[in-house]
Structure 1
Amino acid sequence: MSTYQLQIKKMKLQLAVLFISALLRESIAMPAVDHCLIKFEDSLKETMALRRSCEEANLKDCCQIAEASKIIDNDNYTPGSGIYDISNVCRSTAAFTQDIFPSMQARCNMESGDGGWTVLVKRTPDVDERVSFKRPWVEYENGFGNLSGEFWYGLKNMHCLTSREPMEVEVEVSKTDGTKLVLSYGNFRVDGPSTSYTLHVSDKQDEGFDFSQHHNGIKFSTLDRDNDQNPGSCSAIYNKVGNWFNNCYTMHLTGMPNPILSSVYDYAELRVRPKGCAAFGDEPDSCE
Protein backbone atom coordinates (compact mmCIF):
# COMPACT_ATOMS: atom_id res chain seq x y z
CA MET A 1 0.00 0.00 0.00
CA SER A 2 1.37 3.40 -0.99
CA THR A 3 2.04 6.28 1.38
CA TYR A 4 -0.82 8.19 -0.22
CA GLN A 5 -3.24 5.30 0.40
CA LEU A 6 -2.08 5.07 4.06
CA GLN A 7 -2.74 8.77 4.54
CA ILE A 8 -6.24 8.44 3.05
CA LYS A 9 -6.98 5.47 5.32
CA LYS A 10 -5.75 7.39 8.36
CA MET A 11 -7.93 10.37 7.48
CA LYS A 12 -11.01 8.15 7.09
CA LEU A 13 -10.31 6.57 10.49
CA GLN A 14 -10.01 9.99 12.12
CA LEU A 15 -13.28 11.14 10.56
CA ALA A 16 -14.99 7.99 11.80
CA VAL A 17 -13.75 8.61 15.34
CA LEU A 18 -15.01 12.20 15.23
CA PHE A 19 -18.39 11.06 13.89
CA ILE A 20 -18.80 8.43 16.60
CA SER A 21 -17.77 10.93 19.28
CA ALA A 22 -20.41 13.36 18.04
CA LEU A 23 -23.06 10.64 18.14
CA LEU A 24 -22.05 9.71 21.68
CA ARG A 25 -22.32 13.31 22.82
CA GLU A 26 -25.82 13.56 21.35
CA SER A 27 -27.17 10.17 22.32
CA ILE A 28 -25.48 9.50 25.63
CA ALA A 29 -24.05 12.59 27.29
CA MET A 30 -27.03 14.92 26.86
CA PRO A 31 -29.71 12.40 27.92
CA ALA A 32 -27.53 11.56 30.93
CA VAL A 33 -27.51 15.20 31.98
CA ASP A 34 -31.28 15.46 31.43
CA HIS A 35 -31.75 12.32 33.49
CA CYS A 36 -29.76 13.81 36.37
CA LEU A 37 -31.84 16.97 36.30
CA ILE A 38 -35.13 15.08 36.23
CA LYS A 39 -33.95 12.76 38.98
CA PHE A 40 -33.03 15.74 41.15
CA GLU A 41 -36.44 17.39 40.66
CA ASP A 42 -38.37 14.17 41.21
CA SER A 43 -36.57 12.98 44.32
CA LEU A 44 -34.43 15.43 46.28
CA LYS A 45 -34.44 13.09 49.26
CA GLU A 46 -32.85 10.30 47.26
CA THR A 47 -30.45 12.73 45.62
CA MET A 48 -29.21 14.02 48.96
CA ALA A 49 -29.16 10.58 50.58
CA LEU A 50 -26.90 9.31 47.83
CA ARG A 51 -24.80 12.49 48.01
CA ARG A 52 -25.20 12.92 44.26
CA SER A 53 -23.46 15.89 42.71
CA CYS A 54 -25.48 19.09 42.88
CA GLU A 55 -23.72 20.45 39.79
CA GLU A 56 -26.83 19.65 37.74
CA ALA A 57 -28.98 21.85 39.95
CA ASN A 58 -26.31 24.56 40.18
CA LEU A 59 -26.47 24.62 43.99
CA LYS A 60 -23.54 26.72 45.17
CA ASP A 61 -23.58 26.37 48.96
CA CYS A 62 -25.32 24.70 51.89
CA CYS A 63 -27.98 27.41 52.04
CA GLN A 64 -29.18 26.60 48.54
CA ILE A 65 -29.28 22.89 49.38
CA ALA A 66 -31.51 23.63 52.38
CA GLU A 67 -33.72 26.06 50.44
CA ALA A 68 -34.09 23.69 47.48
CA SER A 69 -35.37 20.95 49.78
CA LYS A 70 -38.09 23.27 51.13
CA ILE A 71 -39.16 24.44 47.68
CA ILE A 72 -39.30 21.00 46.06
CA ASP A 73 -40.77 19.10 49.00
CA ASN A 74 -43.11 21.76 50.42
CA ASP A 75 -41.14 22.27 53.64
CA ASN A 76 -41.54 18.59 54.56
CA TYR A 77 -37.89 17.64 54.20
CA THR A 78 -34.76 19.08 55.75
CA PRO A 79 -31.45 17.54 54.71
CA GLY A 80 -29.28 16.54 57.64
CA SER A 81 -25.92 18.03 58.53
CA GLY A 82 -23.05 16.39 56.70
CA ILE A 83 -20.88 16.52 53.60
CA TYR A 84 -22.50 17.54 50.31
CA ASP A 85 -21.31 18.10 46.76
CA ILE A 86 -21.73 21.69 45.59
CA SER A 87 -20.99 23.34 42.28
CA ASN A 88 -17.55 24.92 42.21
CA VAL A 89 -18.42 28.60 42.51
CA CYS A 90 -14.75 29.50 42.37
CA ARG A 91 -13.95 27.54 39.22
CA SER A 92 -10.60 27.13 40.97
CA THR A 93 -8.07 24.35 41.17
CA ALA A 94 -7.54 24.65 44.91
CA ALA A 95 -5.88 21.50 46.16
CA PHE A 96 -8.31 21.04 49.03
CA THR A 97 -11.34 20.61 46.82
CA GLN A 98 -9.82 19.32 43.60
CA ASP A 99 -7.09 16.92 44.70
CA ILE A 100 -7.93 15.77 48.23
CA PHE A 101 -11.62 15.33 47.38
CA PRO A 102 -13.14 13.99 44.13
CA SER A 103 -15.30 17.06 43.53
CA MET A 104 -16.15 20.39 45.14
CA GLN A 105 -17.54 19.47 48.54
CA ALA A 106 -18.66 21.31 51.64
CA ARG A 107 -19.60 20.44 55.18
CA CYS A 108 -23.12 21.71 55.87
CA ASN A 109 -24.60 22.55 59.27
CA MET A 110 -28.37 22.20 58.88
CA GLU A 111 -29.15 22.36 62.60
CA SER A 112 -28.09 25.78 63.91
CA GLY A 113 -30.85 28.35 63.43
CA ASP A 114 -32.69 27.52 60.21
CA GLY A 115 -29.67 25.67 58.83
CA GLY A 116 -27.99 26.31 55.51
CA TRP A 117 -24.55 27.03 56.98
CA THR A 118 -21.36 26.23 55.05
CA VAL A 119 -18.63 25.33 57.55
CA LEU A 120 -15.24 26.96 56.95
CA VAL A 121 -13.34 25.80 60.04
CA LYS A 122 -13.93 22.77 62.24
CA ARG A 123 -12.03 21.72 65.37
CA THR A 124 -12.92 18.58 67.33
CA PRO A 125 -11.06 16.12 69.54
CA ASP A 126 -13.51 13.37 68.49
CA VAL A 127 -11.23 11.98 65.81
CA ASP A 128 -8.71 9.15 65.65
CA GLU A 129 -5.92 11.58 64.80
CA ARG A 130 -5.87 15.34 65.33
CA VAL A 131 -5.09 17.56 62.34
CA SER A 132 -1.99 19.72 62.68
CA PHE A 133 -2.56 23.41 61.95
CA LYS A 134 1.18 24.09 61.79
CA ARG A 135 1.09 24.74 58.05
CA PRO A 136 2.72 27.09 55.51
CA TRP A 137 0.88 29.80 53.57
CA VAL A 138 0.13 27.67 50.51
CA GLU A 139 -1.71 25.04 52.59
CA TYR A 140 -3.81 27.64 54.39
CA GLU A 141 -4.58 29.11 50.98
CA ASN A 142 -5.71 25.83 49.43
CA GLY A 143 -7.10 24.10 52.53
CA PHE A 144 -6.30 20.98 54.52
CA GLY A 145 -7.79 18.38 56.82
CA ASN A 146 -10.82 16.14 56.49
CA LEU A 147 -14.39 17.37 56.10
CA SER A 148 -15.59 14.52 58.31
CA GLY A 149 -13.34 15.67 61.15
CA GLU A 150 -11.06 18.68 61.55
CA PHE A 151 -10.34 20.97 58.63
CA TRP A 152 -9.50 24.42 57.30
CA TYR A 153 -11.57 25.04 54.15
CA GLY A 154 -8.96 27.16 52.40
CA LEU A 155 -8.58 30.93 52.01
CA LYS A 156 -9.29 30.71 48.27
CA ASN A 157 -12.60 28.98 48.89
CA MET A 158 -13.45 31.29 51.80
CA HIS A 159 -12.89 34.30 49.54
CA CYS A 160 -15.01 32.92 46.70
CA LEU A 161 -17.86 31.83 48.96
CA THR A 162 -18.06 35.11 50.90
CA SER A 163 -17.41 37.67 48.16
CA ARG A 164 -20.26 36.98 45.74
CA GLU A 165 -23.03 38.22 48.08
CA PRO A 166 -23.44 39.55 51.66
CA MET A 167 -22.78 36.84 54.22
CA GLU A 168 -23.44 36.36 57.92
CA VAL A 169 -21.29 34.24 60.23
CA GLU A 170 -21.56 32.18 63.40
CA VAL A 171 -18.60 31.12 65.53
CA GLU A 172 -19.48 28.34 67.96
CA VAL A 173 -17.09 26.99 70.59
CA SER A 174 -17.77 24.47 73.32
CA LYS A 175 -16.16 22.32 76.01
CA THR A 176 -16.61 18.69 76.91
CA ASP A 177 -18.39 19.79 80.10
CA GLY A 178 -21.19 21.31 78.01
CA THR A 179 -20.10 24.95 78.18
CA LYS A 180 -20.93 26.63 74.87
CA LEU A 181 -20.53 30.07 73.32
CA VAL A 182 -22.05 31.16 69.99
CA LEU A 183 -21.16 34.54 68.46
CA SER A 184 -23.10 35.92 65.48
CA TYR A 185 -22.17 38.74 63.10
CA GLY A 186 -24.25 40.18 60.29
CA ASN A 187 -21.31 40.84 57.97
CA PHE A 188 -18.45 38.50 57.08
CA ARG A 189 -16.11 38.56 54.08
CA VAL A 190 -12.64 37.32 53.19
CA ASP A 191 -10.96 39.44 50.52
CA GLY A 192 -8.80 37.99 47.74
CA PRO A 193 -5.10 37.07 47.52
CA SER A 194 -3.98 40.57 46.53
CA THR A 195 -5.00 41.72 50.04
CA SER A 196 -3.49 38.70 51.81
CA TYR A 197 -7.07 37.54 52.41
CA THR A 198 -8.05 40.45 54.66
CA LEU A 199 -10.88 39.59 57.06
CA HIS A 200 -13.98 41.77 57.36
CA VAL A 201 -16.34 40.98 60.24
CA SER A 202 -18.83 43.40 61.79
CA ASP A 203 -22.43 43.95 62.94
CA LYS A 204 -22.39 41.85 66.09
CA GLN A 205 -25.80 40.32 66.77
CA ASP A 206 -25.48 39.61 70.50
CA GLU A 207 -24.04 41.01 73.71
CA GLY A 208 -20.76 40.13 75.37
CA PHE A 209 -17.36 39.22 74.02
CA ASP A 210 -16.57 40.71 70.58
CA PHE A 211 -13.54 39.42 68.65
CA SER A 212 -14.25 41.64 65.63
CA GLN A 213 -12.73 44.69 67.34
CA HIS A 214 -9.32 43.01 67.22
CA HIS A 215 -9.55 41.09 63.92
CA ASN A 216 -11.66 43.19 61.54
CA GLY A 217 -9.57 44.52 58.65
CA ILE A 218 -6.59 42.26 59.45
CA LYS A 219 -4.55 40.37 56.86
CA PHE A 220 -3.91 36.64 57.19
CA SER A 221 -0.49 35.53 58.45
CA THR A 222 1.51 32.32 58.62
CA LEU A 223 5.04 31.51 59.74
CA ASP A 224 6.37 31.96 56.20
CA ARG A 225 4.28 35.08 55.42
CA ASP A 226 4.14 37.56 58.29
CA ASN A 227 1.43 40.22 57.83
CA ASP A 228 0.58 40.85 61.49
CA GLN A 229 0.90 43.99 63.61
CA ASN A 230 3.41 42.47 66.03
CA PRO A 231 7.09 43.61 65.92
CA GLY A 232 8.00 39.93 65.74
CA SER A 233 5.81 37.14 64.39
CA CYS A 234 2.59 36.04 66.09
CA SER A 235 2.74 32.76 64.19
CA ALA A 236 6.24 32.07 65.54
CA ILE A 237 5.06 32.86 69.06
CA TYR A 238 1.91 30.73 68.84
CA ASN A 239 3.00 27.32 67.58
CA LYS A 240 3.68 28.25 63.91
CA VAL A 241 -0.01 28.26 62.90
CA GLY A 242 -1.89 30.64 60.62
CA ASN A 243 -4.48 33.18 61.71
CA TRP A 244 -5.76 36.70 61.14
CA PHE A 245 -3.19 37.85 63.66
CA ASN A 246 -3.29 41.45 64.82
CA ASN A 247 -1.08 41.86 67.88
CA CYS A 248 -1.76 39.02 68.30
CA TYR A 249 -5.32 37.68 68.78
CA THR A 250 -8.55 37.37 70.71
CA MET A 251 -9.91 34.71 68.32
CA HIS A 252 -7.55 31.83 67.65
CA LEU A 253 -9.49 28.89 66.17
CA THR A 254 -6.27 27.42 64.75
CA GLY A 255 -4.62 27.36 68.19
CA MET A 256 -2.75 24.17 68.98
CA PRO A 257 -3.87 21.90 70.43
CA ASN A 258 -7.11 23.76 71.26
CA PRO A 259 -9.13 26.63 69.76
CA ILE A 260 -9.28 29.85 71.80
CA LEU A 261 -12.06 32.42 71.91
CA SER A 262 -11.92 34.42 75.16
CA SER A 263 -11.12 31.06 76.79
CA VAL A 264 -9.73 27.65 75.82
CA TYR A 265 -12.28 25.31 74.27
CA ASP A 266 -12.34 21.72 72.95
CA TYR A 267 -14.60 22.24 69.93
CA ALA A 268 -14.95 25.06 67.42
CA GLU A 269 -16.89 25.74 64.23
CA LEU A 270 -16.90 28.81 61.99
CA ARG A 271 -19.79 28.77 59.52
CA VAL A 272 -21.26 31.21 56.99
CA ARG A 273 -24.40 31.61 54.91
CA PRO A 274 -25.91 34.32 52.67
CA LYS A 275 -27.95 36.95 54.46
CA GLY A 276 -31.56 35.87 54.29
CA CYS A 277 -30.38 32.53 52.95
CA ALA A 278 -32.25 33.01 49.63
CA ALA A 279 -32.19 30.13 47.17
CA PHE A 280 -30.92 30.17 43.62
CA GLY A 281 -29.09 33.51 43.57
CA ASP A 282 -27.39 35.08 40.58
CA GLU A 283 -24.27 33.67 39.04
CA PRO A 284 -21.19 34.53 41.14
CA ASP A 285 -18.72 37.14 40.00
CA SER A 286 -15.34 35.86 38.87
CA CYS A 287 -12.81 35.37 41.65
CA GLU A 288 -9.26 36.63 41.80
Structure 2
Amino acid sequence: MNIITQLVILTLSLLLVNADQYCDNLLKQYNTFKTKCSPDLITINSCCDLTGFTLSKAPSAVYQMMTNCNCGSPFNTVTADVYCDMNTTDGGWTVMQRNRKDSTVDFNKNWIQYEAGFGDLSQDFWYGLEAIHCLTQTGQWEMRVDYQKNDKTWSYLHYNQFSVGSASEEYPLTIGGFTAEGSDWFTYHNGMKFSTPDNDNDKTSGNCAASGKSGWWYNSCYNINTNSQPPFVSGNVLFTEMKIRPKDCITH
Protein backbone atom coordinates (compact mmCIF):
# COMPACT_ATOMS: atom_id res chain seq x y z
CA MET A 1 0.00 0.00 0.00
CA ASN A 2 1.54 3.31 -1.06
CA ILE A 3 1.72 6.43 1.11
CA ILE A 4 -1.10 8.24 -0.75
CA THR A 5 -3.47 5.33 -0.18
CA GLN A 6 -2.50 5.25 3.51
CA LEU A 7 -3.19 8.96 3.89
CA VAL A 8 -6.58 8.64 2.18
CA ILE A 9 -7.57 5.80 4.50
CA LEU A 10 -6.37 7.76 7.55
CA THR A 11 -8.22 10.88 6.43
CA LEU A 12 -11.47 8.94 5.97
CA SER A 13 -11.05 7.26 9.34
CA LEU A 14 -10.54 10.60 11.09
CA LEU A 15 -13.95 11.73 9.88
CA LEU A 16 -15.54 8.93 11.89
CA VAL A 17 -13.64 9.09 15.18
CA ASN A 18 -14.06 10.94 18.46
CA ALA A 19 -11.38 13.03 20.16
CA ASP A 20 -9.65 10.05 21.82
CA GLN A 21 -9.54 8.08 18.58
CA TYR A 22 -8.24 11.11 16.73
CA CYS A 23 -5.35 11.29 19.19
CA ASP A 24 -4.58 7.59 18.82
CA ASN A 25 -4.49 7.91 15.02
CA LEU A 26 -2.08 10.82 15.24
CA LEU A 27 0.11 8.81 17.59
CA LYS A 28 0.32 5.96 15.09
CA GLN A 29 0.85 8.23 12.07
CA TYR A 30 3.31 10.77 13.47
CA ASN A 31 4.59 9.21 16.71
CA THR A 32 4.60 12.77 18.06
CA PHE A 33 3.47 12.37 21.67
CA LYS A 34 5.05 10.14 24.27
CA THR A 35 2.01 9.37 26.39
CA LYS A 36 -1.30 7.62 25.89
CA CYS A 37 -3.31 10.04 23.83
CA SER A 38 -6.37 11.24 25.68
CA PRO A 39 -6.58 15.07 25.54
CA ASP A 40 -5.81 15.50 29.24
CA LEU A 41 -2.85 13.07 29.04
CA ILE A 42 -1.02 14.37 25.96
CA THR A 43 2.40 15.79 26.81
CA ILE A 44 3.23 18.85 24.72
CA ASN A 45 5.89 21.56 24.80
CA SER A 46 3.28 24.26 24.14
CA CYS A 47 -0.25 24.56 22.79
CA CYS A 48 1.37 25.41 19.44
CA ASP A 49 2.40 21.76 19.12
CA LEU A 50 -1.26 20.99 18.45
CA THR A 51 -1.54 23.28 15.39
CA GLY A 52 0.67 21.28 13.02
CA PHE A 53 -1.74 18.51 12.09
CA THR A 54 -3.50 18.88 8.75
CA LEU A 55 -5.51 15.64 8.81
CA SER A 56 -7.64 16.49 11.84
CA LYS A 57 -8.30 19.31 14.28
CA ALA A 58 -7.06 19.11 17.85
CA PRO A 59 -9.88 19.87 20.31
CA SER A 60 -9.78 22.69 22.84
CA ALA A 61 -9.08 20.86 26.09
CA VAL A 62 -6.80 20.48 29.10
CA TYR A 63 -3.42 19.04 28.06
CA GLN A 64 -0.22 18.16 29.89
CA MET A 65 2.64 20.51 29.06
CA MET A 66 6.36 20.11 29.69
CA THR A 67 7.76 22.91 31.88
CA ASN A 68 11.42 23.44 31.06
CA CYS A 69 11.74 27.16 31.72
CA ASN A 70 13.91 26.64 34.83
CA CYS A 71 12.14 29.19 37.00
CA GLY A 72 13.05 27.31 40.13
CA SER A 73 11.29 25.60 43.04
CA PRO A 74 8.42 25.20 43.68
CA PHE A 75 7.38 25.98 40.09
CA ASN A 76 9.98 24.00 38.12
CA THR A 77 7.92 20.82 37.79
CA VAL A 78 8.28 18.23 35.05
CA THR A 79 4.75 18.71 33.66
CA ALA A 80 1.84 21.03 34.29
CA ASP A 81 -1.76 21.02 33.09
CA VAL A 82 -2.71 23.74 30.62
CA TYR A 83 -5.90 24.64 28.77
CA CYS A 84 -5.33 25.02 25.03
CA ASP A 85 -7.78 27.02 22.92
CA MET A 86 -7.64 25.42 19.47
CA ASN A 87 -10.65 27.24 17.99
CA THR A 88 -9.76 30.96 18.08
CA THR A 89 -7.89 32.25 15.00
CA ASP A 90 -6.20 28.92 14.11
CA GLY A 91 -5.62 27.84 17.71
CA GLY A 92 -2.42 27.31 19.67
CA TRP A 93 -3.46 29.61 22.53
CA THR A 94 -2.52 28.99 26.16
CA VAL A 95 -5.45 30.27 28.22
CA MET A 96 -4.05 32.19 31.19
CA GLN A 97 -7.29 33.47 32.74
CA ARG A 98 -11.03 32.94 32.61
CA ASN A 99 -13.62 34.78 34.67
CA ARG A 100 -17.36 35.19 34.44
CA LYS A 101 -19.93 37.30 36.25
CA ASP A 102 -20.98 35.55 39.48
CA SER A 103 -18.07 33.10 39.17
CA THR A 104 -17.73 30.54 41.94
CA VAL A 105 -13.97 31.21 41.93
CA ASP A 106 -12.86 33.92 44.37
CA PHE A 107 -10.27 36.20 42.72
CA ASN A 108 -9.67 38.08 45.98
CA LYS A 109 -6.40 36.21 46.65
CA ASN A 110 -3.03 37.06 48.18
CA TRP A 111 0.34 37.38 46.47
CA ILE A 112 1.41 33.75 46.90
CA GLN A 113 -1.89 32.50 45.46
CA TYR A 114 -1.63 34.74 42.40
CA GLU A 115 1.95 33.63 41.97
CA ALA A 116 1.05 29.93 41.99
CA GLY A 117 -2.36 30.13 40.25
CA PHE A 118 -5.82 28.96 41.34
CA GLY A 119 -9.20 27.81 40.08
CA ASP A 120 -10.33 25.09 37.65
CA LEU A 121 -8.80 24.99 34.15
CA SER A 122 -12.06 23.69 32.71
CA GLN A 123 -14.02 26.58 34.25
CA ASP A 124 -12.76 29.85 35.82
CA PHE A 125 -9.12 30.27 36.86
CA TRP A 126 -5.91 32.30 37.03
CA TYR A 127 -2.97 30.36 35.57
CA GLY A 128 -0.28 31.84 37.84
CA LEU A 129 2.23 34.68 37.55
CA GLU A 130 5.26 32.44 37.70
CA ALA A 131 3.94 30.14 34.98
CA ILE A 132 3.05 33.11 32.76
CA HIS A 133 6.50 34.59 33.31
CA CYS A 134 8.11 31.25 32.47
CA LEU A 135 6.19 31.01 29.21
CA THR A 136 6.89 34.57 28.07
CA GLN A 137 10.50 35.02 29.20
CA THR A 138 11.81 33.83 25.81
CA GLY A 139 10.59 34.61 22.30
CA GLN A 140 7.88 37.03 21.26
CA TRP A 141 4.30 36.50 22.44
CA GLU A 142 0.91 37.89 21.48
CA MET A 143 -2.10 38.21 23.79
CA ARG A 144 -5.84 38.24 23.19
CA VAL A 145 -8.79 38.99 25.47
CA ASP A 146 -12.20 37.70 24.40
CA TYR A 147 -15.10 39.16 26.34
CA GLN A 148 -18.89 39.05 26.35
CA LYS A 149 -20.73 42.30 26.95
CA ASN A 150 -23.87 42.71 29.03
CA ASP A 151 -25.99 42.68 25.86
CA LYS A 152 -24.60 39.17 25.12
CA THR A 153 -22.53 40.36 22.14
CA TRP A 154 -18.83 39.47 21.91
CA SER A 155 -15.71 41.52 21.30
CA TYR A 156 -11.96 41.14 21.75
CA LEU A 157 -8.67 42.94 22.33
CA HIS A 158 -5.46 41.82 20.64
CA TYR A 159 -1.84 42.82 21.31
CA ASN A 160 1.26 41.85 19.32
CA GLN A 161 3.55 42.18 22.35
CA PHE A 162 3.03 40.57 25.74
CA SER A 163 5.31 39.38 28.53
CA VAL A 164 5.47 39.26 32.31
CA GLY A 165 8.69 39.93 34.21
CA SER A 166 10.21 37.92 37.05
CA ALA A 167 9.27 37.54 40.70
CA SER A 168 12.25 39.68 41.77
CA GLU A 169 10.79 42.52 39.67
CA GLU A 170 7.27 41.81 41.04
CA TYR A 171 6.00 40.53 37.68
CA PRO A 172 5.80 43.77 35.64
CA LEU A 173 3.61 43.77 32.53
CA THR A 174 4.95 44.52 29.07
CA ILE A 175 2.18 44.96 26.51
CA GLY A 176 1.86 46.80 23.20
CA GLY A 177 0.98 46.58 19.53
CA PHE A 178 -2.78 46.92 19.85
CA THR A 179 -4.44 45.65 16.64
CA ALA A 180 -8.10 44.91 17.41
CA GLU A 181 -11.06 47.12 16.61
CA GLY A 182 -12.34 49.36 19.39
CA SER A 183 -10.42 50.99 22.22
CA ASP A 184 -7.01 50.10 23.63
CA TRP A 185 -7.65 49.53 27.35
CA PHE A 186 -4.49 47.63 28.26
CA THR A 187 -1.69 50.04 27.32
CA TYR A 188 -2.61 52.14 30.38
CA HIS A 189 -1.23 49.23 32.46
CA ASN A 190 1.99 48.77 30.49
CA GLY A 191 5.07 48.68 32.75
CA MET A 192 3.08 48.27 35.97
CA LYS A 193 4.09 45.76 38.61
CA PHE A 194 1.49 43.27 39.76
CA SER A 195 -0.46 44.15 42.90
CA THR A 196 -2.51 42.10 45.34
CA PRO A 197 -4.34 43.21 48.51
CA ASP A 198 -1.28 42.24 50.56
CA ASN A 199 1.33 43.65 48.13
CA ASP A 200 0.44 47.11 46.84
CA ASN A 201 2.45 48.34 43.81
CA ASP A 202 0.01 50.79 42.20
CA LYS A 203 0.58 54.54 41.70
CA THR A 204 -2.06 55.74 44.15
CA SER A 205 -1.79 56.56 47.84
CA GLY A 206 -4.43 53.91 48.49
CA ASN A 207 -4.60 50.21 47.58
CA CYS A 208 -6.38 49.46 44.30
CA ALA A 209 -6.10 45.70 44.79
CA ALA A 210 -7.77 45.87 48.20
CA SER A 211 -10.64 48.03 46.94
CA GLY A 212 -10.93 46.04 43.71
CA LYS A 213 -10.70 42.74 45.62
CA SER A 214 -8.42 41.15 43.03
CA GLY A 215 -4.82 41.02 41.91
CA TRP A 216 -3.90 43.00 38.78
CA TRP A 217 -1.36 45.29 37.11
CA TYR A 218 -2.92 48.38 38.68
CA ASN A 219 -1.98 51.87 37.60
CA SER A 220 -4.32 54.49 39.12
CA CYS A 221 -6.32 52.17 39.34
CA TYR A 222 -7.47 50.49 36.09
CA ASN A 223 -9.06 50.77 32.65
CA ILE A 224 -9.40 47.01 32.43
CA ASN A 225 -9.39 44.34 35.14
CA THR A 226 -10.49 40.90 34.03
CA ASN A 227 -9.89 39.54 37.56
CA SER A 228 -12.48 41.80 39.21
CA GLN A 229 -15.97 40.55 40.05
CA PRO A 230 -17.71 41.03 37.73
CA PRO A 231 -14.91 41.26 35.15
CA PHE A 232 -14.27 44.79 33.92
CA VAL A 233 -13.42 45.98 30.39
CA SER A 234 -14.11 49.73 30.53
CA GLY A 235 -17.34 48.69 32.26
CA ASN A 236 -18.69 45.49 33.75
CA VAL A 237 -18.97 42.53 31.37
CA LEU A 238 -20.33 38.98 31.61
CA PHE A 239 -17.22 36.98 30.71
CA THR A 240 -13.50 37.37 29.97
CA GLU A 241 -10.83 34.99 28.74
CA MET A 242 -7.15 35.96 28.36
CA LYS A 243 -4.91 33.82 26.16
CA ILE A 244 -1.34 33.97 24.84
CA ARG A 245 0.71 32.27 22.14
CA PRO A 246 4.10 32.75 20.45
CA LYS A 247 3.89 35.15 17.52
CA ASP A 248 5.36 32.50 15.19
CA CYS A 249 2.93 29.86 16.40
CA ILE A 250 1.01 29.26 13.19
CA THR A 251 4.02 29.33 10.86
CA HIS A 252 5.84 27.14 13.41
How many residues end up aligned between the 2 structures? Answer: 225
Q: Is the 1:64–1:279 Cα contact (8 Å) retained in structure 2? A: no
TM-score by length of 2: 0.81
Identity %: 33
* Cα distance per residue 1:136-163 (max 9 Å; x no partner): 1000001111101111000000001111
Q: 1:185-224 alignment to 2 at 5 Å?
A: 185-224=159-198
1:51 matches 2:40: yes
Deviation of 1:209 after TM superposition, in Å, equals 1.1
1:89 matches 2:85: no
Q: Is the 1:40–1:47 Cα contact (8 Å) retained in structure 2? A: no
Q: 1:41-190 alignment to 2 at 5 Å?
A: 41-42=30-31, 47-54=36-43, 59-67=44-52, 70=53, 75-91=54-70, 92-94=72-74, 103-124=79-100, 130-175=104-149, 177-190=151-164
Instruction: Give me the whole-angstrom Cα distance separating, in 2, the residues matched to 1:40 and 1:226.
Output: 52
User: Which structure would you say has the larger Rg?
Assistant: 1
Q: Is the 2:145–2:242 Cα contact (8 Å) retained in structure 1? A: yes
1:245 alignment partner in structure 2: 218
Aligned partner of 1:65: which letter? L
1:40–1:253 distance in 2 versus 1, CA, 3 Å = farther
1:204–1:86 distance in 2 versus 1, CA, 3 Å = same
1:5 alignment partner in structure 2: none
- State the SS of the aligned residue for 2:56: coil
TM-score by length of 1: 0.71
1:255 alignment partner in structure 2: 228
Q: Is the 1:197–1:219 Cα contact (8 Å) retained in structure 2? A: yes
2:243 alignment partner in structure 1: 271
* Cα distance per residue 1:107-150 (max 9 Å; x no partner): 01101101000000011359xx7100111100000111110111
Structure 1 unaligned blocks of 5 or more: 1-37, 281-288
Instruction: Give me the whole-angstrom Cα distance separating, in 2, the residues matched to 1:82 and 1:125.
Output: 22
Instruction: Give me the whole-angstrom Cα distance separating, in 2, the residues matched to 1:49 and 1:177.
Output: 37
Aligned partner of 2:199: which letter? R
Aligned partner of 2:203: which letter? Q
- State the SS of the aligned residue for 1:236: helix
CA RMSD of the aligned region, Å? 2.6
Instruction: Give me the whole-angstrom Cα distance separating, in 2, the residues matched to 1:122 and 1:53.
Output: 22
Q: Higher helix fraction: Structure 1 or Structure 2?
A: 1
Q: Is the 1:48–1:79 Cα contact (8 Å) retained in structure 2? A: no
Deviation of 1:42 after TM superposition, in Å, equals 3.9
Instruction: Give me the whole-angstrom Cα distance separating, in 2, the residues matched to 1:107 and 1:145.
Output: 12
